Chains A and B, each alone.
Chain A
């Protein structure tokens, strides 16, 4: 029939010029050339590095990680002495980075959400104040905030002995629990009257059984809460009546923890002045506190803008429709506005968390021993292995970033618009 009459032109025979002029082959040609150039560049760089290393009489090996570190770290989340290896020092640094990053992410999110919502408040004065806060913190370098807050700690706060005597010049704050001094901030530790002992994980890393019990109870409570909610949902689907769940949820979330607190005899042990220093509590270095505060304030200003934009992105019709359906305001917020706003908020929030983690490397300005301070600082200077130390440090930061962004992407997928 007609169809058979249409003849497809045969492929023209391949000519060399088609590598440039034929669009089917041109991209291939281009990619091959780029591949060769990139390989040549890498070869050139590696060759130069090898030559330079040979000239300096150095080698490229990570053996130094297992040598004695020989320096002290003021704040160690896991036991560490100067006799430990550089590797352990690097791990301590990494944990210090994680501590300030996690603390900063939590506090920045809380503050950022409050400020972001307050900027949308109908209250003229308060909204203006929050705008000023956001603009001031966003438009000045983070380093400035770190230095200012650190200077406040070191220059204005008193030495520990100002707390001494019958009528001391300074007194502790928060119901005599926290002492601010120019060298450290002394906070209370958790004490137990009924200590269950610790689980030894090897390498002198121990976990208190009480901590493990709390984690188990909290995770269990979370799952129990989900089970209760699913059950309530299925009852609602079947009968149309949703059973009251709030007291059950509250019970599974709170009661086991309260029981554990009673069982272990958990209490705060506030620091007290012994001689020239506070002891009994935990003396947190001011570097950490200043870094944490500065990261919190700086990132909170960015998060506030993200939250504000997210809420503004939900069109007015959505809340009006929810009200028309007869939803109460708090249900409107939790069922209609928040799910849609979160979709807009989460992706930029992820990058703020990543920025905060990377910005924690500004610990260099306050002498807080994070990953850059140990592996990329003292270890590098003592062993003279710049290449290995910096490469390892960059790879660690890279891995950290990729893990955070992978984890947050999973969360993002759960709040994303479910499309067919």
Chain B
């Protein structure tokens, strides 16, 4: 058998053929092009359309960007430089306005010799935020704190900071690094005190003000500790009363007296000196920090079993969501004086922050309500079965999960609020987008410059907002607990 077989088959391959490479049209760049750009008539048309759009944009704007001038003192000088370099009739961008008016765009009308104060405030903000935002990853903390330290200290030195304050900043940053390496929770007390410190750094005045504002809750806490073991409900009520009464009747006078005894003050800066990105960031950061807790409270109130609480929350949320932010800002600037006792008036930036906060909080409440509703009922029932009371159940079981679900919505509310800080221009504050650019144009040197300031301010807003949305994606991934 085998003999005949050997005769009829003259050749038997005993090794495998190497795999043949696919045809040229099925591999490499050509395949990619065929699959992704030219897979059918519709796709081909779309590709050509897309290429046309890109070509149109490049053809329209390229020479304008390529001929940018970064160093000039007026628009006419820019035009002369462009005409001299690129020939008569050439057009070009004049980004020199950004370079010349940089300080105005960043700090508004803040006293130039005090520019280091906002710089320090926002540098230390990153330290205060580290345990909250970057608590999980040591590498990210190192990068963020490192960049913050270098940028802040260098900028402060360049802006001419007094040596004492430079040392103070360096010490806080060094402590931030130490805590970041050892135990990030060490930074939490700093994070709690930071809002008051930040307000003091920015507006100046006496340090005793923030100290006595902080003393209110401390006294309240002491009262609660004294009463708490015997009558918990009464303890909370008394603590709240002590705090509020202290703030209303004692704190102001005490701060004045203490300032008289031990002067601890830095130069005050009035609110109308704020402007540019300093104003946007101040309102934005304050609004973000305040609207999240308020939004959580409103969302819980809206889902409460208590009829009155629920109706009040519904009315508040729907009212705020039903009116434009501009109307609320007009309330802040025109009507608040009607609603307060005759003769009182308080800071316009504070009023705007309050309005922006309640506006964002109403949206936040709806986002968080969605998260609460999306949570399976079993979670609530499990919390009840464990015998947790309402607040413990919310704090330990419900809210951590509900907030995690609502992260995308929460962050887009933040982004929306930060973009809306530009609307403060309509109540007379100097936002970077409209008022500040109008102020720049009001000068004869920069009269008629439109596109460069818009592009600059837009780019900064884009960076911050895009960064926030990327951070929310990172957070979602980090907090993911299921295995999918």
Residues of A participating in the B interface, judged by any CB pair closer than 8 Å = 20, 27, 30-31, 34-35, 38, 45, 48-49, 51-53, 55, 118, 121-126, 129, 135-136, 138-144, 147-148, 151, 155, 354, 358-359, 361-362, 364-365, 372, 376, 386-387, 390, 393-394, 397-398, 400-402
Contact = CB atoms under 8 A, between A and B. Distances in A.
A31 B419 CA distance: 37
Given A49-B339, A138-B465, A144-B454, 17 more contacts: A27-B305, A27-B306, A30-B306, A30-B309, A122-B35, A123-B36, A125-B47, A125-B51, A126-B50, A138-B415, A140-B462, A141-B419, A358-B323, A386-B335, A394-B323, A401-B322, A402-B322
A397 B422 contact: no
A389 to B, nearest CB: 9
Contacts, number: 149
B363 to A, nearest CB: 9
A38 B306 CA distance: 15
B175 interface: no
Contact of B337 (A52, A136, A364): A52
Interface string B37-53: 10100010011011101
Interface in B398-421: 415, 419-420
B334 to A, nearest CB: 4
A364 B422 CA distance: 13
Interface core residue of B335, B337, B466 (most chain A CB under 10 Å): B335
B37 A124 contact: yes
Interface string B311-333: 01000001101111111001100
A52 B327 contact: no
Contact of B39 (A20, A122, A140, A148): A122
Contacts of A393: 327
A390 B319 CA distance: 14
Contact of A143 (B318, B415, B423): B423
Contacts of B322: 354, 397-398, 400-402
Range class of the B interface residue count: 35 or more
Given A31-B309, A34-B312, A390-B334, A125 B50 contact: yes
Given A30-B306, A139-B466, A144-B422, A376 B330 contact: yes
A122 B451 CA distance: 35
B342 A52 contact: yes
A406 to B, nearest CB: 12
Given A139-B415, A397-B327, A402-B322, A48 B461 contact: no
B326 A372 contact: yes
A119 to B, nearest CB: 12
Please list the 7 inter-chain residue pairs (A to B) with the smallest Cβ-Cβ separation, ordered nearest first: A124-B36, A401-B322, A398-B322, A139-B465, A358-B324, A361-B324, A141-B419
14 contacts: A20-B233, A48-B340, A123-B36, A124-B37, A139-B466, A141-B433, A141-B461, A142-B419, A144-B422, A147-B433, A372-B326, A387-B335, A390-B330, A390-B331
B308 interface: yes
Given A31-B308, A122-B43, A365-B434, A148 B454 contact: yes
B462 A139 contact: yes
Contacts of A135: 466
B326 A361 contact: yes
B307 interface: yes
B380 interface: no
B471 interface: no
A310 to B, nearest CB: 15
A49 B338 contact: yes
B271 interface: no
A139 B461 contact: yes
B427 to A, nearest CB: 11
Contacts of B43: 121-123
Contact of B47 (A31, A123, A151, A365): A123
Contacts of B376: none
Query: Which one of A35, A123, A359 has the greatest number of beta carbons of chain B within 10 Å?
Result: A123
A144 B46 contact: no
Contact of A55 (B306, B318, B342): B342
Interface in B12-55: 35-37, 39, 43, 46-47, 49-51, 53-54
Contacts of B425: 143
A155 B324 contact: no
A38 B312 contact: yes
Contact of A362 (B47, B233, B326, B462): B326
A14 B337 CA distance: 47
A154 to B, nearest CB: 9
Contacts of B461: 139-141, 144
A352 to B, nearest CB: 12
A20 B335 CA distance: 39
Nearest to B455: A148
Nearest to B36: A124
Contacts of A49: 338-339
B197 interface: no
B104 to A, nearest CB: 18
B378 interface: no
Given A123-B47, A401-B321, A53 B327 contact: no
Given A147-B454, A397-B322, A140 B50 contact: no
B218 to A, nearest CB: 24
B472 interface: no
Contacts of A390: 327, 330-331, 334-335
B355 to A, nearest CB: 12
Given A34-B312, A129-B50, A141 B420 contact: yes
B420 to A, nearest CB: 7
Given A155-B450, A362-B326, A398-B319, A123 B46 contact: yes
A26 to B, nearest CB: 8
B338 A52 contact: yes
Nearest to A365: B434
B65 interface: no
A361 B434 contact: no
A359 B53 CA distance: 29
Given A126-B46, A398-B323, A144 B458 contact: yes
A327 to B, nearest CB: 21
B469 interface: yes
B414 to A, nearest CB: 12
Interface in B270-328: 305-309, 312, 318-319, 321-327
B199 interface: no
A275 to B, nearest CB: 28
Interface in B125-142: none
B426 interface: yes
Contacts of B338: 48-49, 52-53, 386-387
Contacts of B339: 45, 48-49
A144 B456 CA distance: 11
A162 B227 CA distance: 82
Nearest to B334: A386
A376 B434 contact: no
A318 to B, nearest CB: 20
Contacts of A358: 323-325
Nearest to A32: B308
A43 to B, nearest CB: 12
B327 to A, nearest CB: 5
Interface string B182-204: 00000000000000000000000
